[in-house]
Structures are given as structure tokens and as C-alpha cells.
Amino acid sequence: MMAAAYESGAISLEGVMKRFGDFQAVDNVTLDIKLNEFFTLLGPSGCGKTTLLRMIAGFEMPSGGRILLDGKEISDLLPNQRPVNTVFQNYALFPHMSVAGNIGFGLKMLGRPKGEIRAAVAEMLRLVQLEGRGDSAVTQLSGGQQQRVALARALAPRPKVLLLDEPLSALDLKLRKSMQIELKRLQAETGITFVFVTHDQEEALSMSDRIAVMSHGKVRQVGSPADIYHRPADRFVADFIGETNFIEADAVSIAGGVARVRLPSGVEIPATFPAGVTPSGKVTVVIRPEHAQMVAQAGDGALRGIVGDIIYLGTDTHFHVRLDDGSPFIVRRQNATNGPSEFSPGESVGIRISDNVAQIVMNQP
């Protein structure tokens, strides 16, 4: 157990802007990151997520708006004045210091007594499971170990918020998976607010309490992983998170918060829609590949098409189907039994859609 309790902090961003010359890197972002939360900023490269993180850390000054920590404005403070620490993308470990020297650096700079630093370093080494490696040179460690040292270094001064800038991107897949679990454990154990930046949607879904999806400097949607996946706010979010089928359809009617849409095949199905919009006319409907099933009788499904590529993925098989109107559609089927697929390329099939899974999304402005 921890020797002392960690203190956690909440971050509020109010209309934060960042401009680099003509480029609007962060465009009017308002967010509340709660106490003890594992919060993820997710988006493609160049969406402004790292710039936003760097502004919280203090490496960049906002061009506009305010950043608050526990209700107090910190926008004008220098990085060394903020009780916030960063785990850098390529760790940025000090190569001329030992593992212990790296971990103890923050406390040393805070002027803590030697005994306290030594105790904190020992505790951190235990926390990241690197006991006995304190005297090693950081250049002799493996990537995963360097990652742990970077974490320990950032946690040692007991920041109120830990900022993580794509910390797992340099690791191979297997190590990444185990570090994901490790990060979740550290966050639960310390209770510190984590702000995590990634472009990997799977990583974001599996680790976060809440996710903010960003593109072009704006926050598209904030919500729990399930919210983001099942109720994407717009076409960008639906497209960026997971695999998605987009179908152009006509909104026919709205009743009780659910719309009825007519698919190109003429079949009508119910579809939910984001709050604050009233779908009408031509709309885009999102159906996840796992929410559709193939049926042998073409007439039995809501959609009809011809099987194209069949991609075997071990746990799942993906069927790429070309619909009658020429648009592509992917069906994912879990491989519940061994043996060959009962469908083959060129076959005419029907596609059935599970109840209450279709969702109308708005095209982004």
C-alpha cells in the first residue's frame, strides 16, 4: 500500500485557443476533467491533442482562454510552478543520470531532504516493479523499463495531475498491452487524475473513464468509451472510433425520440439520433459491422448484396459485401465454431441488422 495518500486535482479548460502563425492548433476547447479520472484526448495526428496537453503542462501558453487547476487559474504559471508532471512520448529520460537520479530529480529540484528523496525513489521503484534497478544507467534499460522509469519519475513528486503524451507508442504490441494494464493499476492505486493523449482508439476505449475525441483543434465529443462507440456525435467520431458502415438513407418520420429511416433497399428501420438535431431528408446512418448478420436468403435481410473479400482474423471473420446500390458494407462475425465459412465470394446474400443499433449521424460542419 502507499506510504502516503496522493492528492488529485481537477482540470478545467475554458475556451482554450492556440494559434501557431496562421494555424489554429487548438480552437476554443472547453472541457472539465474530473478528480481521479482517467481522461483521454483522442484524435488523429495534428488534431491538437498534444498541443492541448502541452498547454496544461505549461510548455505552451494559450493564445486565449483559461486553464484552471482545482478552480485556480494556472495559465500564466511556468511548467516548474505547476503541480502537474508529464510522461513524454519518447520518455525524455536524462541519459547522464541513473534510474534513481531520474526518479529523484523532481523532488531534488523541490529541495526535499535527501532521506525523503531516497525513500520516495525506493517506493516508486516498487510501484513500477523495478526494485533493485536504482543504480542502473537508463541507457541500459529496455523500452518497457524506460517507460516505467519515466512513469516513476513523473509520479515521484506526487503531482495532482499526470499528463501522458502517447507514452505507449514506442512499445511493441505485447508490451503495449501489458503497459496499458499497468497504467490502469497505477492510476487506481494512486488516485491521481491522468490525462492521456493517444491516436490509438483501441487504447483509448480500453483504458479511459472518459474520452474527448478531437479533430482540427476542436473537441467533437466527450463521453465514456461506450457513449463514444455506440452513440457517436458525428460522422467523424463514428468513422474514427472502430469500424463503421455508413449508409445513405431517407428520414421518414420521428416518434418518441426515434426516427424511422428508409434504407436504399426500401426497408425501413428505426434509428436513434444525437440530441439537439431533427433528422429529415437525406441522412447518414451508422451500423457497426458486429451489429449485422449475413443470411443466405437475400430477401430475408434489410440489405442485399454480393460477397466480396472474406478476411479471416482468428477470433472474427470480416465479410466485405457490395450492396445492390454499389456501396461497401462490412459484416463481422465471431468465429464461434471451427471450420470453413458457409459463405463464399460472389455469393448473393442478405444482411440482417440487429434491433436498435442504427444511429443517424450528422456530417461535420
Partner 1 sequence: MTDVAKAGETRRRNDIRDRWLLSAPALTLIAIAGTGPLLIVLIYSFLAPGSYGDVKWEFSPNGWFNVFLSRDIFDNTVSLADAHYTIFWRTLRLALATTVLCLLLGFPLAYFIASRPPGSRSIWLFLITIPFWTNMLIRTFAIAEVIRNEGIINSLLMRLGLLVAPVQMLFTDFATLVGMTYVHLPLMVLPLYASLEKLDFRLVEAGYDLYASRFGVLLRIIVPLTRPGIIAGSILVFVPALSSYVIPLVLGGGKNLMIGNLIELQFGQGRNWPLGAALSVTLVLVVMIAVIFYMRNAGEPGGRAHG
Residue 58 interacts with partner 1 (CB under 8 A): yes or no: yes
Which CB atom, from 87 or from 331, has the smaller least distance to partner 1? 87
Which CB atom, from 89 or from 272, has the smaller least distance to partner 1? 89
Residue 196 interacts with partner 1 (CB under 8 A): yes or no: no
> Which of the residues 274 through 313 are near partner 1 (CB under 8 A)?
none
For the CB of residue 79, give the shortest distance to partner 1 in the complex, in Å.
4
Which CB atom, from 40 or from 98, has the smaller least distance to partner 1? 98
> Which of the residues 62 through 121 are near partner 1 (CB under 8 A)?
78-80, 84-86, 88, 90, 92-96, 105-106, 109-110
Which CB atom, from 50 or from 245, has the smaller least distance to partner 1? 50
Which CB atom, from 79 or from 328, has the smaller least distance to partner 1? 79
Which CB atom, from 163 or from 269, has the smaller least distance to partner 1? 163
For the CB of residue 80, give the shortest distance to partner 1 in the complex, in Å.
5
Residue 246 interacts with partner 1 (CB under 8 A): yes or no: no
For the CB of residue 141, give the shortest distance to partner 1 in the complex, in Å.
11
x-or-dash string of contact with partner 1, 138-177, rule CB under 8 A: -xx------------xx--x--------------------
Which CB atom, from 93 or from 307, has the smaller least distance to partner 1? 93
Three-state SS string across the chain, please?
Answer: CCCCCCCCCCEEEEEEEEEECCEEEEEEEEEEECCCCEEEEECCCCCCHHHHHHHHHCCCCCCEEEEEECCEECCCCCHHHCCEEEECCCCCCCCCCEHHHHHHHHHHHCCCCHHHHHHHHHHHHHHCCCCCCCCCEHHHCCHHHHHHHHHHHHHCCCCCEEEEECCCCCCCHHHHHHHHHHHHHHHHHHCCEEEEEECCHHHHHHHCCEEEEEECCEEEEEECHHHHHHCCCEHHHHHHCCCCEEEEEEEEEEECCEEEEECCCCCEEEEECCCCCCCCEEEEEEECHHHEEEECCHHHCCEEEEEEEEEECCCEEEEEEEECCCCEEEEEEECCCCCCCCCCCCCEEEEEECCCCCEEEECCC
Whether 191 contacts 10, CB under 8 Å: no
Q: Stretches 5-13, 51-59, 126-134, 329-337: which one binds partner 1 (CB under 8 A)?
A: 51-59
For the CB of residue 252, give the shortest distance to partner 1 in the complex, in Å.
55
Can you give the binding site for partner 1, defined by CB under 8 A? 57-59, 78-80, 84-86, 88, 90, 92-96, 105-106, 109-110, 137, 139-140, 153-154, 157
